[in-house]
Amino acid sequence: MIEAVIFDLDGVLLDSEEVWDAVREELAHERNGRWHERAQRDMMGMSSLEWSRYMHDVIGLPEPPGEIDAEVVRRMAARYRERLPLVPGAAGAVEGLAARWPLGLASSSNRPLIDLALDLAGLERFFTATVSSEEVGRGKPAPDVYLEAARRLGVDPARAAAIEDSHNGILSARAAGMRVIAVPNPAFPPQPEALAEADVVLGSIAELTPDAIQPL
């Protein structure tokens, strides 16, 4: 019996993976970094502590990771305020599931971006608990952020359903022992071995109904 539903943010509620990619690549070029084609996929699911260190160590930005993190967040927030890339149908899916279950959010985004996005989208009131991976020990694919979301919701992880789009996100929710509903991101699709770990694979968030969460 499912007792709570936990959403990912980037790629599920927000079509933001390309925004993250553009902002970090732009910064890398400005600072004479060594951007490469695998960089975005490498950083998907990482916590802010992890990806800012990657930008410093691998991409070669000279600033310390904390400064890199702060600058990327500043640029992301500016873009969200210009136009929030809310996925069509996301607000309806959240509202529909909130009528039946308490909702959580387990995101690799920084806390300020989570709060800003939910506020701009008008969705903040639907979430009982939200967790950033910067608030736990490890980012996705480790289960930490999903386990913490379940803890804050007061539910057994085995009685929670996770809504995910990415390779590392699916593996993270599976490692937490949750029912995994995958809505693959077409721009950054999960690898087949990760998709095979999902209990349900949907074509879009418009298909995210109570029956997908808990079949009759």
Which residue, among 188, 159, 186, 190, has the nearest Cα to 172 in the 3D structure? 190
Q: Could you list the active site residues?
A: 8, 10
In the chain, where the domains are located: 4-15+85-213, 17-82
Q: Model's pTM, two decimal places? A: 0.92
Q: Which residue has the tokens 């279950």?
A: 101
Q: How far is CA 137 from its chain centroid?
A: 16
Six-digit token string for 105: 């959010």
Q: Do residues 63 and 31 make contact, with C-beta atoms less than 8 angstroms apart?
A: yes
Give 56-74 pLDDT, tens digit per residue.
999 999 999 999 999 999 9
- Report the CATH number of the 17-82 domain: 1.10.150
Q: Is pLDDT of 195 > 90?
A: yes
Question: Domain 4-15+85-213: which CATH class?
Answer: alpha beta
- Quote the tokens at residue 212: 């997908």
Give the whole-number percent of the chain exceeding pLDDT 90. 88
In the chain, what is the straight-line distance between the N-terminal and C-terminal CA atoms, in Å?
11
